[in-house]
Chains A and B, each alone.
Chain A
Amino acid sequence: MKKKTLSKSTWTYIVVILVWAVVMILQQAGALSSHLQGLLVPATYYAIVAVGLNICVGILGELSLGHAGFMCVGAFSSSLFSIAMQNTLPVGIRFPLAMLIGIAVAALFGFLIGIPVLRLNGDYLAIVTLAFGEIIKNILNALYLGVDSKGLHASFTSQMDLGLEADGTMLINGPMGISGTPRDANFTIAIVILLIALFVAQNLVNSRDGRAIMSIRDNRIAAESVGINITHYKMLGFVVSAAIAGAAGVLFSHSISTLQAGSQYFGYNVSILILVYVVLGGIGNISGSVLAAAVLYLLPELLRALSSYRMLIYSIVLIAVMLFNWAPAARNWRTKVAARLTKTFGRKERA
């Protein structure tokens, strides 16, 4: 379908791989501080959720404020699996399976939540997804789950209520969450997952199903009039979006020692933060989401040295990026520059 010149999606893969290579070389050379090394995996999984959310916001055209919730279910389900299989399966099999389980569970939740939510539009949909994200987080926060010789025990009040036998183990310890998830994820794996997420998202956009989803975004009534099944395709977009967020959750839970369903990890603030990445990276622009997530996640962390000025600089950057992306003057300027580049390099870019 695309012509001889490398398409934009191919460039995205190349850039991501280059970034990975540079980081790996720097790491080998010992040029990365341990603080920065600790930020690599989070930056990548935020990039992944941003890709997932962009499918919902940019491609499907529905505002979701609950994507942290999908991350949350992906994280918890895969963690439970990994702990259960810790001594039976080698990491090479365990982690891919955990990944699939996290994705499947997030997709399932996407489907279940999608049934009521996708009947709504616009602001209403945003509000309800926000609520669902919070509900998921709060339930997991209050859940005590243990297993013993008699089977599974669950409670919403306290650990004591579980009535575990002497041989029992706690799986989810309420607000204390899950501890002891094997730390299977590293930067390389995270990059691989990011590449797969990009691959899925960009392929979807350039396919029959992707076109149907975008046609609903652009004009629902017209889409219906040419025989597009609205419910089916809205659900497809939403589920894929949730599944990708779930994959990010799996990376998250396998890169920290204690997984808690706290607000700082899965609250609505996180959902909004991800939305900021999507909006500033360009709604509907998949590769832009990756760039925005990486830069905007790393920036405030790297500015920690500036302490109180940190958030000031961060917000100035946000405003600058927003203007660059959306202000008419900036857009005109970009079109001009793009035209000049096209002239110089003779490469045809799609508008």
Chain B
Amino acid sequence: MKNILEEAAFKEAEHNTRRHFLRQCMSGLGALALGGMSGNLLYGQEKASQKLLQDKLIPHFAPKAKRVIFLHMAGAPSQLELFDYKPVLNQLDGEDCPASLMEGKQFAFLKGTPKILGSQARFRQYGNSGAFVSDYLPHFSEVVDEVTFLKAVHTDQFNHAPAQFLMHTGSPLMGRPSMGSWVTYGLGSENENLPGFVVLVSGGEPSAGKSVYGSGFLPTIHQGVQCRSTGDPVLYISNPRDIDSKMRKESIETINRINELEYQQANDPEIITRISQYELAFRMQTSVPEVMNINDEPDYVHEMYQTTPGKNSFANNCLLARRLVEKGVRFVQLYDRRWDTHGVGPGNGVDGGLKDACQLIDKPMTALLNDLKQRGLLDDTLVVWGGEFGRTPMMEARAGANFKGRDHHADAFTMWMAGSGIKQGHTHGETDEIGFNAVNGRVHVHDLQATILHQLGFDHEKLTYHFQGRDFRLTDVSGHVVKEILA
């Protein structure tokens, strides 16, 4: 017991940094003055606690999108086998990579003089827009006129976890709030019974772990809630044995009354978060199993999405994403981990392995776009697809030249966006003849984030949160809205 108290005192001391001290001095003085002027009106505790949760920020300008579905292909799919058609790369297949190309660049595994690896896929142009799509994605090629391709996205990181953090939290280091958290912090949820930020995972956790959908220093109510497609959709959502719904309700009410008292004493906003989490958890006991149960979908929907109820798959998650946004969930984040095609063994290259992976997403993501469209949801839902970086035009050959693999590549890769105010059938940006560098229309990860926030009505420079003495934002100190892709 003594240890715990000592630790608590130590923790508290830790939080009181110099900046906090100075700030508290200043605001203390201000509050004294204000308190005197307003005749202690400030101490209406109840109001303050409610306000904290209800206060949603109003968008800076009229939004185009109300919701986001982010399909993250964890591991980073090869743009050269899917969207970025480079005939010159195919001609150079097997040639030594010139040393000048590698100079000053960092790669995770490439060593010595690697050889150029031609695309393993066959490309054709589709739709009125004439976008190139490979034969790895036969279904997706039907919907190219719905999307904008970003062909020249680039990032700062060439390893999975930091690059995933950068993509989703704006910083390669752990601990910042993720995009979904920022969005629910800014806009709140449209459905009281569901979390505003839901995470669906297939093929294994992303390498950055659960922090990549954490809320960082934002109130923890904005953390991404992972829903599973097998077993309980949310862990421990069912009542424990011998506890019925009534008892659960009463106990939560009692706990919350105690917490309310605690808040009035301690004034810690995290207590409010906890109270509302209990309430939300209770409501989720009925709402989540309902929305996560895809058995009630008609057969043609299952056929369209390639779904099998009860299975953990990207397909199921796509269907769930549609169901969740239909119910008003703000941010649905999908992670599908199977894309790290280094070619270190059979089934791990950009030939067979990548093609197999594509088969698991091709029909579902196409169905998602079509389904959103026919329900009118694509009008105010933004769909974003991509990996954390791209892959090199050079062959990695870590395990010999028998397996065709590509290394991580941060300088140029393809992503696509669709829906709410994004141009239809458009391509932005271009890479050089072998897809190694972006030559125009470069889009940094921060630019992408700025654009997503922009479509939701936020100026990314103004959506900030004060922490440790300064304002933080998703795009750190950079980011430009890619206005060229806005319809």
Q: Do A and B bind each other?
A: no
A interface residues (Cβ-Cβ under 8 A, vs B): none
B interface residues (Cβ-Cβ under 8 A, vs A): none
